[in-house]
Structures are given as structure tokens and as C-alpha cells.
Amino acid sequence: MNALLPLSRAIDALTERIGRIVYWLILAVVIISALNATVRKIFNYSSNAYLEIQWYLFSCIFLIGAGYTFLRNEHVRIDIISGRLSARAQNWIDVIGILFFLFPMCIIIGWLSWPLFMDSYVRHEVSTNAGGLIIWPARLLVPIGFTLLVVQGISELIKRVAFLQGLIANPLEKQQTKSAEEELAEEIARQRNLDAGGAP
């Protein structure tokens, strides 16, 4: 297990980097949504493409960011029972959940979504809405997102087993870290300082 912990750390670093890129898309969605609403109200003009790009970006945030959410242990849990159990029992529940539920579900969805993407790509499928966007990029997000979730699941499984063997601290304990919103605000401020020629 000691040999697998560096792999887990490498996966975590990759997922962290992907997550930090993806959460910028939240800002993009907000800006596009605000501009779309403003143009529609002021100029009485709108396009289905503006709405669909918001859907695409939201899908990207949800699917590509799923592994990042898993890394941060921020996914929805029903802790009515497991919250009263010991740390070892909680980690055993996660090991069973990852092996028998997460992995099979992700593999099946990823496997079944690939032909849909390929069919959409080959046919150059376009939205049926007037002025709509091409569809294959949105379909591609599904296999990519679930593949990334499987990869992060491997890291989480390694950490759970390592904890059960007494090699690392409890990975289920939430660290006192800043929220995604606070991190995004700090990143925006840091970028603004860099653009202004100041210190990061």
C-alpha cells in the first residue's frame, strides 16, 4: 500500500488542477447568463446558442468537476447512520461503496455513453433548436467525466485502505479549508494583481 500512496497523491494533484480550472466555468456561466438577460431585455434579442452554451458549461462543471468534489469529500452523503459509526466503519462503507457501486456505475455509464458520442460526432449532430449548437461536445463530457471520477475513485480507495492499515490519517475528516467560492474570489484577486504588475 505504501507503493500506491504516491499514485494516489499524483491523482489528487491532477484532480485538484482540473477542479481549479473547472470552477472558473462557474464565473463564465454567470457572465453569459447575465449578458444574455441584459441583451434580451434591452435589445429584445436572444439566441438559443446563448442558452445552450450555459447548459454545456453547467454540464461540464457537473461532470468534469465530480472527481474534484469526491477529492474534497463534498459530495452528498446520508450520514444519519454512518455519522454515528466509528472512523474505521465509515471507511469500510466507502471501500464497499467505491468497489461495488461507484466503479460499476461509472464504467457502465462511460461504456454506454461512448457510442452515443461517436454517433453524434460522425453525423455532425446539431441541436434541433433554431440557432442551436453542435451536440457532440456535450455528449463527450459524459465519458470524460465518468472516467475522471473512476480515476479519483482509485485514489480514494487507496486512501481508505491505507487508513484501515494505519498508514495515513482518516481521509474522511474534512479539513478546515476555504470554500470554493472563497478560493475563486482569491484567484480572481491574484489574477488582477498579476495583470496590474503587482505581487501575486
Q: Could you state, in order of their start, the residue ranges of all structural domains in the chain?
A: 5-167
pLDDT of residue 82: 76
SS3 134: strand
pLDDT of residue 137: 95
Q: Are 135 and 126 in contact (CB under 8 A)?
A: yes
Q: Encode 99-120: b = buried (16+ Cβ within 10 Å), e = exposed.
A: eeebbeebeeebeebeebbeeb
pTM > 0.85: no
For residues 160 and 154, give the distance between their C-alpha atoms in angstroms, rounded to a whole number. Answer: 10
Q: What is the DSSP string of 9-70?
A: HHHHHHHHHHHHHHTHHHHHHHHHHHHHHHHHHHH----HHHHHHHHHHHHHHHHHTHHHHH
Q: Are 168 and 6 in contact (CB under 8 A)?
A: no
The amino acid occupying position 13 is: A
Q: What is the mean pLDDT of each run of 10 residues along the chain (200 residues)?
A: 91 96 92 90 86 93 95 82 86 95 97 97 91 92 97 97 94 72 79 74
pLDDT of residue 164: 95
Give bridge partners of residue 134 from the DSSP assignment: 126
